[in-house]
Structure 1
Amino acid sequence: MDVSLVAWGPGDLPELERANTPEMTAFLGGPESAQQLVERQERYLRLNASGEAHMFRIDADGQSAGGIGWWQVDHDGVPAYETGWHVYPEWQGRGVAKAALREVIRRIAATGDRDLLVAYPGAENGASNALCRTAGFSRRGGGTMPWRGGELTFHTWVLDLSPLDLDGRVADFDERFDGGVLDETSWWPHYLPHWSSRERTAARYELGPAGLELRIEETTPAWSPEFDGGVRVSHLQTGQLSGPVGSGRGQHRFREGLVVREAQPERRLLLPRFGVIEVRMAAVRHPAAMVALWPIGFEEEPEQSGEICIAEIFGADLDESGGWVGVGLKPQHDPRLHEDFEKVRVEGDLTEFHDYAVEWSADGIRFFIDHRWVKTVAQRIDYPVQLMLDVYELPSAGGVRDIAALPHVLRVERVRTFPPRG
């Protein structure tokens, strides 16, 4: 479905009238009068013209589906934007409000002029409260206020859009890969070898003054033909845990039917829990390539398997002016989590170095690109994770490798972690 925002215009009074039904205003104290709707229409146009507000009609597949906007407020003495929306009954439950709110959040974050977005849905409006939670807002209490001749009880939802601030923070891990030799007290140069073997999963890499190069070469074998077909990978990880040969116990059970094929030593290397995790790396522009940093649960318990996708960049998603970066949370086998993953558009050459980071706390995870906020996941993942840093070569539709394009090289300048704020 194509959901777009169209600036509120002089001809949109009928949209307000369409939304002014008992059903649509049940959580707002009931319909407004005809004169109040005229005044609201004039207010929308006036505030749009002055820049104090940005009001839009929501179009879905070319049809009017509702309205949304944001406007200037103070929240607890802090300059903020407030947002609100409505979606017509025939479009509800189809992801229209979610798509429109994500676009509003994206536009506000791009302006950078206010770091706080708030929403005050009625306490009984289950759908709007659930949407706030899904969009990454955190609930911060609520209240009751006079509204349309009665009282409105509301919940307060807050979304922090501020950039990543590392001023005054000291890294507890700062890897520059410039020592000439890979530090295997921090990095295990194999990709999930329990589902294959150390020989087939050994990383191809070079270290130098500019940092790390992880390489897919012509002679790089498919890492696990039995379980993952022709996928090739060059990879470093900061932990290793699996069961005995023949068991199904192992980290990152990426498909059903996995069986441990080679016993592995347990390695507890770098296993952060909360704080900042950051990588500075350059993507590979080729349709078969993908680069990523995706910490996963160390899996002392099988359900402790959630994945924090800091950056996942497919070469096919890059173009002349920028590209799409996958960020978010994947539950894998953690039943307490649900998937909250999306691709965000980033302008600029992603084959040059960019910073990708998360700030992870007990309340949720905030995602950043070049220190700019791009997403918040309001879920709790509360166990140690190991870093997974890699470049993949994915099989082509015709099954023929583009040998002339090799090697595919992921360049990494640094990886850092910072402890949580005290």
Structure 2
Amino acid sequence: MTDGSVTLAPWGPDDLPLLERANTPAMTAHLGGPETAEQLEERHARYLRLAAAGEAAMYRIERDGVAVGGIGYWQVQHDGLAAWETGWNVFPEWQGRGIAREALRLVIREVAARGDRTLLVAYPGVDNPPSNALCRAAGFEHRGSGTIDWRGGELTFNSWVLDMTPLDLSGRVADVDETFAGPLLDETRWWPYYTPHWSSRDASAARSRVGPGGLELMIDSDTAPWAPELDGDLRVSHAQTGQFSGAVGSSTGQHRFRPGLVVREQQPERRLWLVHHGVIEVRLAAIRHPDAMVAFWPIGFEDRPDDCGELCIAEIFGNEMDEDGGWVGVGVKPQNDPRLREDFEKVRVDGDLTDFHDYAVEWTRDRVRFFIDGRWVKTVAQTLDYPVQFMLDVYEFPRADGTRDLAALPHTLRVERVRSFPPV
């Protein structure tokens, strides 16, 4: 496995020296101290034995081909449930470079793809701040602490759990289930303009149609850039479920995508379909074209300036798709919310993304879990605590030479349904 320059290579018979290199007082300070030579040899043999039996997966962490530590996961029981436990180390001269974070991300992806156990746990010592911080940043939930006898002494540890269970909507009833029955886009739910306060309704109006297959948002050959003096030749067709902005000349408005924005056209306030916690799900088909991108990204209604974070449920660039699948961006983006940190990544999804797929978020007071076709793909251990409106759009990005692929138009985002479920 690889993530940029960080690679995980299967643990091999010649890797005992890596255990010896990590067996220093400094490297084992949170584990009760170094092991004996015999214990290291037994550990090395156990890694190989359990990996061969399918009961564990152990890896060298490599950076640009150089071994810099180790990571793995193995079968355990956690509170009576089948789980995988993970642990890692990075040699001192390589610490502080994000290597453990990238290695753990690769392990999380592998465990999620296996699907045989939906819990990944870690038990770092309570006196090990970096490992505890890494668990928190990776989306693990703190489930208490405990003390065990360990290497002739006692080890007090924190219990961290990453829940990868699939999305379960059985028994839950949607408060809104939008299937775009038509014959027109329902403007009691959808405001068919792209942040028109920064431009105008005429310039940002959606090209759309509804019918038996759902909603289509289109960029045509005669679609003009929505705000050329602010956003160049970017073209967009968009619908959102709320609208809030200030008076003309003010800086009050949703999606402040660059500094210095001022309201250019007065807009009516619209509170159409706002959600605060629960499940939000969209079923859409992406566009495989290098100039196109589709997205579904609920954002804060922003009637208070800081309440502007984003839940990016799906962001799919046409140039990141191929015949076998593509990359889907998911996560939390602060935009201008100082209480949030960006936690966003691109997840590889197998299958034709120009077919319909379900993209969803389960949003609670403590964390946000992301799903594709019901399968868990990411947890963010932070949350938004204010209402959001839905932002649904297709973009056409300008080319450096100013040309457009007119033969490929219209770029059409197809949306079969959007629905929300109240929190449990």
Deviations 1:264-291 (A, max 9, x none): 0000000000010000000001111000
Alignment partner for residue 201 of structure 2, among 198, 202, 209?
Answer: 198
What is the CA-CA distance between 1:90 and the residue it aligns to? Answer: 1.4
> In the alignment, does 2:346 pair up with 1:374?
no
Greater CA drift, 31-40 or 394-403: 394-403
**Inter-partner Cα distance in structure 1 for 2:343 and 2:10:** 29
Alignment partner for residue 101 of structure 1, among 82, 99, 104?
Answer: 104
Deviations 1:291-310 (A, max 9, x none): 00000000121000000000
After superposition, residues 156-305 of structure 1 pair within 5 angstroms as: 156-305=159-308
After superposition, residues 342-381 of structure 1 pair within 5 angstroms as: 342-381=345-384
Question: Which residue is equivalent to 1:401?
Answer: 404
What is the CA-CA distance between 1:399 and the residue it aligns to? Answer: 1.9
The residue identity in structure 1 corresponding to 2:127 is: E
What is the CA-CA distance between 1:397 and the residue it aligns to? Answer: 2.1
What is the CA-CA distance between 1:380 and the residue it aligns to? Answer: 2.2
Question: Which residue is equivalent to 2:335?
Answer: 332
> In the alignment, does 2:414 pair up with 1:411?
yes
What is the CA-CA distance between 1:405 and the residue it aligns to? Answer: 1.1
Question: Which residue is equivalent to 2:44?
Answer: 41
**Inter-partner Cα distance in structure 2 for 1:248 and 1:403:** 36
What is the CA-CA distance between 1:319 and the residue it aligns to? Answer: 0.9
> In the alignment, does 2:325 pair up with 1:322?
yes
Question: Which residue is equivalent to 2:390?
Answer: 387
**Inter-partner Cα distance in structure 1 for 2:95 and 2:384:** 30
- Mapped contact 2:279–2:362 kept (Cα < 8 A): yes
- Give the 3-state SS of the residue equivalent to 2:275 in structure 1: coil
Question: Which residue is equivalent to 2:59?
Answer: 56
Deviations 1:74-126 (A, max 9, x none): 11111111100001111111111111101100010111111111100011111
Question: Which residue is equivalent to 1:73?
Answer: 76
What is the CA-CA distance between 1:246 and the residue it aligns to? Answer: 0.5
Unaligned runs of 5+ in 2: none
- Give the 3-state SS of the residue equivalent to 1:257 in structure 2: coil
Unaligned runs of 5+ in 1: none
**Inter-partner Cα distance in structure 1 for 2:155 and 2:339:** 33
The residue identity in structure 2 corresponding to 1:134 is: A
- Give the 3-state SS of the residue equivalent to 1:309 in structure 2: strand
**Inter-partner Cα distance in structure 2 for 1:344 and 1:10:** 32
What is the CA-CA distance between 1:179 and the residue it aligns to? Answer: 2.2
**Inter-partner Cα distance in structure 2 for 1:222 and 1:167:** 43
Alignment partner for residue 311 of structure 2, among 297, 308, 311?
Answer: 308
- Give the 3-state SS of the residue equivalent to 1:397 in structure 2: coil
Question: Which residue is equivalent to 2:116?
Answer: 113
Deviations 1:23-67 (A, max 9, x none): 111111110000100010111111011111111111111000100
TM-score by length of 2: 0.98
**Inter-partner Cα distance in structure 2 for 1:92 and 1:344:** 26
- Mapped contact 2:360–2:370 kept (Cα < 8 A): yes
**Inter-partner Cα distance in structure 2 for 1:275 and 1:189:** 24
What is the CA-CA distance between 1:403 and the residue it aligns to? Answer: 1.3
Between the two proteins, what is the percent identity of the paired residues?
71
Give the count of matched residue pairs.
421
Question: Which residue is equivalent to 1:148?
Answer: 151
> In the alignment, does 2:93 pair up with 1:90?
yes
What is the CA-CA distance between 1:253 and the residue it aligns to? Answer: 0.4
**Inter-partner Cα distance in structure 2 for 1:413 and 1:349:** 16
**Inter-partner Cα distance in structure 1 for 2:218 and 2:255:** 22
RMSD: 0.7
- Give the 3-state SS of the residue equivalent to 1:23 in structure 2: coil
- Give the 3-state SS of the residue equivalent to 1:99 in structure 2: helix
The residue identity in structure 1 corresponding to 2:6 is: V
**Inter-partner Cα distance in structure 1 for 2:38 and 2:270:** 71
What is the CA-CA distance between 1:211 and the residue it aligns to? Answer: 0.6
**Inter-partner Cα distance in structure 2 for 1:389 and 1:89:** 46
Alignment partner for residue 21 of structure 2, among 12, 18, 29?
Answer: 18
- Give the 3-state SS of the residue equivalent to 2:274 in structure 1: coil
The residue identity in structure 2 corresponding to 1:221 is: A
Question: Which residue is equivalent to 2:127?
Answer: 124
- Mapped contact 2:125–2:157 kept (Cα < 8 A): yes
**Inter-partner Cα distance in structure 1 for 2:276 and 2:419:** 14
- Mapped contact 2:363–2:383 kept (Cα < 8 A): no
